Chain A
Amino acid sequence: MQITSPAFKQNAKGALADVQLQQALGNVRSGFIDKRLKAVEALPEFEALRDSARAIKDHALANLDLYLEAYEKKVVASGGHVHWAESAEDARNIILDICRKANAKTVTKGKSMITEEIALNDFLEEKGIRPVETDLGEYIIQLRHEHPSHIIAPAVHVTQSQVEADFRRVHTHLDAARDLREPEALLNEARKVLREEYFAADVGITGANFLIAETGTSIIVTNEGNGDLTQILPKMHIAVASIEKIVPTLEDASQILRVLARSATGQDMSVYTTMSTGPRREGDVDGPGEYHVVLLDNGRSSMLGTEFQEMLRCIRCGACMNHCPVYHAVGGHAYGWVYPGPMGAVLTPSLIGVDKAGHLPNASTFCGRCESVCPMKIPLPKMMRHWREREFERGLNPAAARSGLKFWAFFARRPALYQAMTAIGMPLLSLLGGKSHRFGWLPLAGGWTRHRELPAPQGKTFMQQVRSARSAGAR
């Protein structure tokens, strides 16, 4: 997938002007937040479970090498295969190899952000293998040749009438006069079309929400049941997972499951939580004949031991973007790669480089809602600040921003001078603010004042106010 993160500013401008997108984003602003709150309030232990979930992941990350080895041993013992992929390219080639050995022509896929990250679909198509997305949202965007704009609701940017138009355009074998006005009719049509694909597929590829070291189990969580039909009907199941998905035991996964569904969709449990361990057993009458796991690093090991390690606790619930005013305004595509919103603003620079993704951690008001709803208590704003520091250290910001910051820093490091200058500046600005005490236009700040007015200072500096308050208190 083409990375457009460097063009975040242009992307955002386009998104703000896109009427259809803004209509679709209304569903994010209203739906997710209330559902999550209701589910959280109905569980008194939710806060304690957040701490428990965080501690589990911290422990797993601190011993990641050992848990990966234990996990591998159990997968092999249950008859499965483990493949280790350092990079996206390695993962693509490993998957292609497995598919070729199975003579695969059609591959069904459960929703998996990891396979978006490694751009698997385009690659398989190039090699003559047809990937079919089976999650309704993923299916819709595959028909539109788009990428997910949200990690749990990939087609959240698409309106119902757009889906209808896409189905009419692609499903030309169906009666042109059929009624598709209701969303139920659209879902039924997708169900019918995809049923045939499940049976036609030679290989089923899913992601994984958890890998269990104790048992060699991979777990996926879905509501539609597509991930299950993807993995039980073809003769081979490939689970693609990044290395930080590992937790020690089934009990640990159970703790995190309680915060995952509530944070994501406001459900107590997703409809289907599926634990898969190895291929078809002796006596089994269904299930995949082969079971493969592809463990992907792709930059995650470089986050360990750094100020970004905590990001590896992320369980991809999407709560941070559901509560983010920036995401609400521009949607997911503006972020320019697989992971949007606050978690994307931290993760994307780690995975593709801050030189390409520097705008993302800058596009934050630091309101802190993301951190307050994150079930894994990841300090997202703090980590965005770390990226801003790195960006500055490496000289990646534009010259005007750098010299502006340097100019400010010169005074900030000299408090006496700073106070003297502001003591002159504030009354002056107050005077220039006029009767309205607002600026409708400012030099170098046209981008701000085009859409709103800037309040003018009221006359005294903060330090002056503190001093007069103190002396008033002393009297």
Chain B
Amino acid sequence: MSGREAILGKVRTALKAKAGDTVRLAAVNERMAKSAPGIIPARGQLPAKERIDLFCAQAVKLFASVERLASADAVPAAVAGYLRQKNLPQSVRMGDDPRLSDLPWSQEGALEVRHGPSDGNDEVGVSHAFGGVAETGTVVMVSGADNPTTINFLPEHHIVVIDATSIQGDLETAIAGIRARFGKGEMPRTVNLISGPSRSGDIEQKLILGAHGPRALHLIVVGG
């Protein structure tokens, strides 16, 4: 008997359930089909403007830095400014997301833009978020050639550009957005929910930023 049959058999015996019980199966399938949200905290349920403000405030509490721009065209100048302010070389790594690559990077003459996944030799990575969650100040990142997952973790500094309109009140609404894009029951390979820069408390419970992932997370909120 295979491990699979043995385990399922033991589970069914313990639950006094029979294989092929259509009543239970219908209940289970219905629950997965509905994917109903449960209790949604009131904290994030706000009108657009307050929701975006809450997102920014929550992110700052998590030691991310936040910059707000009226238009995406100003992103390259903001990135170059961030690099100057942090005394970093004028060089960034990003994927092929047209929401990033179509921006006027050439206006920042000194700024080198490299495309593709990170190999660990990048000081700064730039990604575009799929969305955000105001309740917790979380950015939602979706994998793919547009925004390779390695850029979320290997560079020392991670700059995330996010459309203010994609910031939701709660994680459930963000999940519904992923489902609407990728289809019911389907998921992109990796979804990273990121809430602040990497940290560890493993040495005597002291909080230190910059464990294995980025030491700094800089959010550029566009619009709103």
Contacts and interface: CB of A to CB of B under 8 A. Distances in A.
Interface residues of A, number: 102
Nearest to A72: B4
Interface in B185-207: 185-206
Interface stretch (B47-55, B73-81, B83-91, B144-152): B144-152
Contacts of B138: 269, 273
Interface in B168-200: 171-172, 175, 179, 185-200
B156 to A, nearest CB: 10
Given A45-B39, A59-B31, A65 B15 contact: yes
Given A83-B3, A273-B193, A305-B16, A224 B203 contact: no
A304 interface: yes
Contacts of B165: none
A137 to B, nearest CB: 4
18 contacts: A63-B28, A65-B19, A69-B8, A90-B3, A154-B202, A155-B202, A195-B120, A214-B32, A224-B198, A251-B175, A255-B39, A268-B136, A271-B195, A271-B197, A273-B192, A285-B116, A301-B10, A304-B14
Given A276-B190, A305-B16, A187 B210 contact: yes
Nearest to B199: A223
A43 B41 contact: yes
A127 B190 CA distance: 31
B114 interface: no
Given A84-B4, A134-B212, A287-B189, A301 B203 contact: no
Contact of A186 (B58, B145, B203): B203
A66 B193 contact: no
A321 to B, nearest CB: 14
Interface string B6-50: 111011101111010000110111011001111101110000000
B185 A232 contact: no
A354 to B, nearest CB: 18
Interface of A: 24, 27-28, 31-32, 43-45, 48-49, 52, 56, 59, 62-70, 72, 74, 78, 83-86, 90, 134-137, 140, 153-156, 159-160, 163, 183-184, 186-188, 191, 194-195, 199, 213-217, 223-226, 228-229, 232-233, 243, 248-252, 254-255, 257-258, 265, 267-281, 283-287, 295, 297, 301-302, 304-306
B35 A250 contact: yes
Contacts of B198: 223-225, 271-272
B186 A215 contact: yes
Nearest to A59: B31
A183 B204 contact: yes
B212 A194 contact: yes
B213 interface: yes
Contact of A287 (B15, B28, B37, B149): B149
B166 interface: no
B153 interface: yes
Contacts of A163: 203
A155 B204 CA distance: 8
A78 B39 CA distance: 30
Contacts of B43: 43
A31 B203 CA distance: 12
B58 to A, nearest CB: 8
B32 A136 contact: no
Contact of B39 (A48, A69, A194): A48
Contacts of A85: 3
